[in-house]
Amino acid sequence: MKAMILRGISSFRENRTPLELLDMPEPVPGEVEILIRVSACGICHTELDEIEGRTPPSSFPIVLGHQVVGRVAGIGKKAGRFKIGDRVGVGWIFSACGRCSACLEGNENVCDHFRATGRDAHGGYAEFMTVPEDFSYPIPPVFSDAEAAPLLCAGAIGHRSLRLTNLKDGQNLGLTGFGASAHLVLKMVRHRYPHSNVFVFARSEREQGFARELGAVWAGNTEDEPPESLHAVIDTTPAWKPVVEALKNLFPGGRLVINAIRKEEGDKDYLLKLDYPAHLWLEKEIKSVANVARSDISEFMELAAEIPIRPEVQEFALKDANRALLELKEARIRGAKVLRME
């Protein structure tokens, strides 16, 4: 099978083609696994973090990709949820132990043995992949393969982030950063909270214009002051500056939800500008998002089909994965980027 392989940590400044297109043996499903013939795989900012070492894979070489859609092409001896030809998806959560207190309470996203697709196990930048059957999901027929792929991560993590804001209909929501996840959150808010207004903070005028097209009542730069205070903010950026800027825009008792797998060291000094009376006093909160649980993916896929939420996508061939990642690195974003297999 064809696959894009990452052999080790690399910087896009020094190497603009960190992934190598290779022939690999087709994987064989284990007893409780299924084999998936991949048709589409979304591209996520987390892949940049894996490549450049901020969230390094647990071993090399590795096949990246954790927003996977395809058809069941093989079934393990003890697997029985799906049949050959079924269309399924795979998200960031590849497996968890299922036995610890976190898993038993439905919080498998913080399990000590959490394994991530495309980081701790081969992912979807390939023609085939295997996954435990209990960590795959049926894809609603309303979506094309390319539309469904970003829903499995950007949509699911956005769904979890929105739930953690405790937003009520009629309250104001801020979105800091406007990539694949945030643009899906905006669509969710318009459906679930029709009387709420969304305010978007984004670096580029292109992203700001896109936000307005999708229904944001206001869009500006990270440091701009919105016309109204916000009951909640979701931050999807890898930087610290938006955290401090968002806190000053919150109502008393408001909550900032940080939907980011890591924060860069480059602007860490910005935290020195944190002023307790202005930014944190009056019972303002900061809540982080860690991974996703299976329930986040399955619940969101049902919601997305009900609305329906159709993400904006740009498609690339598998061999062009490096180009797509470079565009993401350079913030050339409109919606979500998706690899399509030949």
Digit-coded pLDDT (tens) for 275-307: 999 899 999 999 999 999 999 999 999 999 999
| pLDDT score recorded for residue 312 | 84
148: in domain: no
Q: In whole numbers, what is the pLDDT of the chain averaged over residues?
A: 95
Query: Are 77 and 39 within one domain?
Result: yes
Mean local confidence (pLDDT), 197-221: 95
Chain Cα centroid distance, residue 144: 18
Helices (H), 122-257: 145-150, 156-165, 180-192, 205-213, 241-247
Digit-coded pLDDT (tens) for 64-96: 999 999 999 999 999 999 999 999 999 999 999
Residue 335 has pLDDT above 80, yes or no: no
Query: Are 257 and 325 within one domain?
Result: no
Query: Are 176 and 281 within one domain?
Result: yes
Query: Are 175 and 284 within one domain?
Result: yes
Cα dihedral 296, 152, 259, 64 in deg (nearest 10): 130
Which of the four pLDDT bands, split at 50, 70 and 90, describes residue 194?
A: very high
Digit-coded pLDDT (tens) for 31-72: 999 999 999 999 998 999 999 999 999 999 999 999 999 999
217: in domain: yes
Asked whether the beta carbons of 255 and 285 are under 8 A apart, the reply is yes
Question: At residue 135, what are phi and psi to the nearest 5 degrees?
Answer: -110, 30
302: in domain: no
Mean local confidence (pLDDT), 130-138: 98
| pLDDT score recorded for residue 203 | 87
Look up the CATH number of the domain holding residue 106: 3.90.180.10
Task: Give the HSE-up count for residue 199: Cα atoms under 13 Å, Cβ half-sphere.
Answer: 21
SS3 state of residue 165: helix
DSSP assignment of 240-289 equals SHHHHHHHTTEEEEEEEEE--S---STTGGGGGG--IIIIITTT-EEEE-
295: in domain: no
What is the number of domains present in the chain? Answer: 2
Query: Are 134 and 160 within one domain?
Result: no
Look up the CATH number of the domain holding residue 257: 3.40.50.720
Q: Which has the closest alpha carbon to 115: 277, 272, 292, 284?
A: 292
105: in domain: yes
SS3 state of residue 40: strand
19: in domain: yes
Q: What is the domain extent for residue 77?
A: 2-139+312-340
Residue 310 has pLDDT above 90, yes or no: no
104: in domain: yes
Query: Are 108 and 37 within one domain?
Result: yes
Query: Are 198 and 114 within one domain?
Result: no
| pLDDT score recorded for residue 296 | 96
Question: At residue 306, what are phi and psi to the nearest 5 degrees?
Answer: -70, -40
Q: Which has the closest alpha carbon to 304: 139, 72, 134?
A: 139
Query: Are 335 and 255 within one domain?
Result: no
202: in domain: yes
